[in-house]
Chain A
Amino acid sequence: MKNMKKRQELLRSFFYDIHVHDKDRLMDWLGIASSTYYKTLKEMANLISQGEQPKRNQLANFVRETIKYEPFQQTNNLLAALYESKTMRELAASRYTLILKFLQQYGKSSRQELIDYFNSHVLEENQKTVQFSESEITRYLGDLEEASFITRTKEKGAQRMENFYELQATFFEHFSLNELFELYTFISFIINTEVPSASGYPLQKKLLSHLEYKHDYPEFLLNDTFYQYPYFGKVLDEYIVYDLLHAMNNNEAVTVYYQSVKSNRKQVVNHQEQLLQINFVPLHIVFDYLFARWYVIGAEVNQPKEQPLKRLRIDFIAKMDTHSTCSSDDWSLWEAQAEKELEKPWCITYRETTEKVRVKFTFYPVDQQENFIRKRVEEQGQWGRIVEEIDRSFIWEIEVTDTSELIPWIRSFGSSATVLEPKPLQEKIHASWKETLQLYDHLEI
């Protein structure tokens, strides 16, 4: 996970341009050494591009230019490459894989033919032909057959009856070409618009390879949709989300190494001794769409029952280990508390009491524009409801635990939203517009 964290934070910095023009500042921000910086950059360059790798002094530029979001041109979220890093090295080493690849490339083959394929390929590492024994290959074939990756048939070969091997019909082969197009649209739509999405990226990649290899359908012919405002960065924290979901499914407590949110430096990838160590029962995950921020809510192990649950920002989790299993009684109690504490926050903050917020929204139509203000409020307003309508205006009400969490959303409506109550929220929004006015009022515009 530590390596994943380094890659994740480095990718985040390069995607968002954080100190990327100043290596020393970036290393300081992330808390990593120069050797780690170059090593991680090289790993990332390997993952996001199959082509020739840049030299050491060009690595940073290469990564920056490759992963930078380019609207209207870029359809691949290269940040999702993060999820390939975990397994590629281990996997590439598998000899079983080679058999599967040979069978993909050459189709149904006899054992002898497979032996010949093995012996006619050069290993890059030591630049010499490696001989594999027949018994080894027979053993690998047996394993693959037992695991249902391949099937064996006895057929007449060149001189005698021989064992022939071929790949089992795989997932995508069950679909017609048109059905594969549908599947591609479906997967693309989900990874661009929904969370969790990380598992969808490699799946989409495999489907594309299948279409290209089996149906001779190049990827560019399928790029017929531009997803506007996809916010690629949301995928970066998902690998911790999956680990947390796994812990939740198994009622497990975890030890979380956590960077304090108050700190103004990222520094989450190093200095374990400076991190908070929290033994924690994760209970629920919250994704805040507006800022693409993930939170986990849970109980500290041995936390008194009357205390509110703890909220952690997932991007500040540097490392996580399994701690212990939580008893089902404790789990049920905590789970009920989490449900209660999540009922009324607009986003994440819990307080014992709620406050009513009343906002007047007004629509100022241009031409024959549809009422997009109402549409937005209905779509994004969670459990709030419209209680009154007057001409082009309507009053919307909601009960929330922390009214300040609504501020960015209300501000985004500009003068179309006027807070009627509570008074302190009204004053905050009013003051915030006065401050905004001061920013521009003195300019000669």
Chain B
Amino acid sequence: MIISKYNSPLFLEKLHKDYLYKHGELLSVEAGPYLPTQAELSWLKSFLTTDIATSLLSETTSQKLEVLLKDSPKLEWENYLTKKQVPHTSIPNVSYLYLIKQAIRENNGIHLTYETKSGKILSEEGCPIEFVYNIAKKRWYIKWLKENDSVMTTPLDLIKEVNNMKLEDSTLIEKAENYRWNRGKFKKAVVEWRPQQSNMDIHRFLHAFSAFKTFLQDSEPIAMEIHYQKEEEHFLLSKIRQFGPHVFIQSPVSLQKAMLETAKRAISNYE
């Protein structure tokens, strides 16, 4: 084993015994995976009273955390921090979340009973691929592969019942795994930053699209290539719309058309 070069004996000798106590917090960071720092525990404690904890932690885990964090100071930010324009977190019943997670970990299949958009109740079997939590919509989805190879996306709150089951066809597991690494085709859009005042902050533009794969082109005016999937088109358009005329869609034509139609309809609302 090679020890870090910072473990030089000369350096170490400079450390006073008090270091351990004054910087016990720091020591624990380097001590490996087992010792969370006081700051980290305080952070964790400050989220224990939230709805997220109620939804995602079982009673036993919550109680253990409560006991273990009893002496940790709570990170006091609630009184000093206001979050503006943050969508309220609403977590539906996620009782099936851990059951499906277990199926994914153990390469099992699932028997799923769920409600469709039209209110139909279906009961089907397949292989779970992954969860998607859409932060913009605040909604959990499970992506799963049906025996006929079609990829399904089912909102977790529409699931009525789940049972884990052994899969006889192991090729379904392989296909599910392959799906995670091969997402199909991405579309490309190019948008242009057209600030009306020279001091308009470009970070707003950069941030707005940073949840996509992007490439900022070295051009004047500044343009950005954005990779997106078909089902993300509505979200991408809403991001572009918030800039009004300050962001221009160079391509594709389909997004230009959508923006043109929106502008026409929006104007007609005022005339």
- Would A209 and B33 count as touching, CB distance under 8 A? yes
B188 contacts A by Cβ under 8 Å: no
- Would A245 and B243 count as touching, CB distance under 8 A? no
Contacts of B81 in A (CB 8 A): 195-196, 245, 284-287
Q: Please provide the chain A residues from 151 to 181 with a CB less than 8 Å away from any CB of chain B in the complex.
A: 167, 170-175, 178-179, 181
Known pairs A91-B27, A226-B131, A409-B242; A288 contacts B211 (CB<8 A): no
Known pairs A203-B44, A409-B85, A415-B266; A124 contacts B4 (CB<8 A): yes
CA distance A249 to B249 in the complex (A): 46
- Would B80 and A203 count as touching, CB distance under 8 A? no
- Would B84 and A264 count as touching, CB distance under 8 A? no
Question: How would residues 260 to 295 of chain A score, 1 for a CB under 8 Å from any chain B CB and 0 otherwise?
Answer: 001110000000000000000001111111111100
Contacts of A387 in B (CB 8 A): none
- Would A224 and B130 count as touching, CB distance under 8 A? yes
Question: In this complex, what residue of A is CB-closest to B82?
Answer: A286
- Would A292 and B3 count as touching, CB distance under 8 A? no
B124 contacts A by Cβ under 8 Å: no
- Would A123 and B84 count as touching, CB distance under 8 A? no
CA distance A212 to B47 in the complex (A): 25
Q: Please provide the chain A residues from 77 to 127 with a CB less than 8 Å away from any CB of chain B in the complex.
A: 84, 87-98, 100-101, 104, 121-126
- Give the A interface residue count (CB, 8 A): 143
CA distance A126 to B6 in the complex (A): 11
Known pairs A285-B80, A409-B242, A437-B264; A190 contacts B47 (CB<8 A): yes
- Would B8 and A123 count as touching, CB distance under 8 A? yes
Contacts of B207 in A (CB 8 A): 16, 231, 233, 291-292
A71 contacts B by Cβ under 8 Å: yes
A200 contacts B by Cβ under 8 Å: yes
**Could you jot down 17 A-B contacts, CB within 8 Å?**
A71-B213, A71-B227, A94-B30, A96-B27, A98-B3, A124-B3, A170-B35, A185-B101, A189-B52, A200-B40, A203-B43, A225-B133, A228-B135, A229-B135, A249-B80, A289-B87, A315-B203
Q: Which residues in B have some Cβ–Cβ distance to A below 8 Å?
A: 1-9, 11-12, 15, 17, 19-21, 23-24, 26-27, 29-37, 39-44, 47, 52-53, 56-58, 60-61, 64-65, 68, 75-77, 80-90, 97-98, 101, 104-105, 117-118, 130-138, 180, 183, 198-199, 202-204, 206-208, 210-216, 218, 227, 235, 237-239, 241-245, 248-249, 253, 256-257, 259-260, 262-270
Q: Which residues in A have some Cβ–Cβ distance to B below 8 Å?
A: 15-18, 21-22, 68-72, 84, 87-98, 100-101, 104, 121-126, 130, 132, 139, 143-144, 147, 149, 167, 170-175, 178-179, 181-183, 185-187, 189-190, 192-196, 199-200, 202-203, 205-210, 212-213, 221-222, 224-233, 245, 248-249, 262-264, 283-293, 315, 342, 345-348, 360, 367-370, 372, 376, 379-380, 382, 407-409, 411-415, 418, 426, 429-430, 432-441, 443, 445
Going nearest first, the 3 A-B pairs with the smallest beta carbon separation are: A209-B33, A17-B216, A91-B30
